[in-house]
Amino acid sequence: DIVMTQSPDSLAVSLGERATINCKSSQSILYSSNNKNYLAWYQQRPGQPPQLLIYWASTRESGVPDRFSGSGSGTDFTLTISSLQAEDVAVYYCQQYYLTPYTFGQGTKLEIK
C-alpha cells in the first residue's frame, strides 16, 4: 500500500498569515503517460463531511477560494493557504488515488494562533 504522511500533525497560524501543509507519499503517484499526479486535498470542518479542495495535486475544485493552492509532484506535495481566514479552521487530509487502496494521510489540524 502507498503510505501518505502529512506534516505537521497540527499547526497554529495567525489570521491573514500563510499556512503550509506537507504530504509525502511512499512511492511516486505521478502517472507518466498523462503527467498527472493522483493527489487530492480535503478540508473537514468539525462535525462536517470532508470537502474536496484540490485534485490532480494542483487543480482547485469549483467554488474553492483561490487562497487555497496545491503544488508538488512525484512524492512531495504541499497545500498552501495564502491568507488564513477564521473559517479555514479544520483538519486537512491528502489522499492518493493512484493505486488502490486509495490511502489518506493522517490529517493536519489547523488552528488560529
Cα(68)–Cα(84) distance, rounded to whole angstroms?
Answer: 9
Q: Contact residues for other proteins (CB under 8 A)?
A: 1, 40, 42, 44, 49-52, 55, 61, 91, 93, 95, 100-107
Nearer to other proteins, 42 or 83 (CB): 42
**Structural contact between residues 80 and 19, judged by C-beta atoms closer than 8 angstroms:** yes
Cα(88)–Cα(94) distance, rounded to whole angstroms?
Answer: 16
Cα(103)–Cα(99) distance, rounded to whole angstroms?
Answer: 9
Minimum CB separation from other proteins for residue 99, in Å? 10
Nearer to other proteins, 16 or 66 (CB): 66
Nearer to other proteins, 75 or 103 (CB): 103
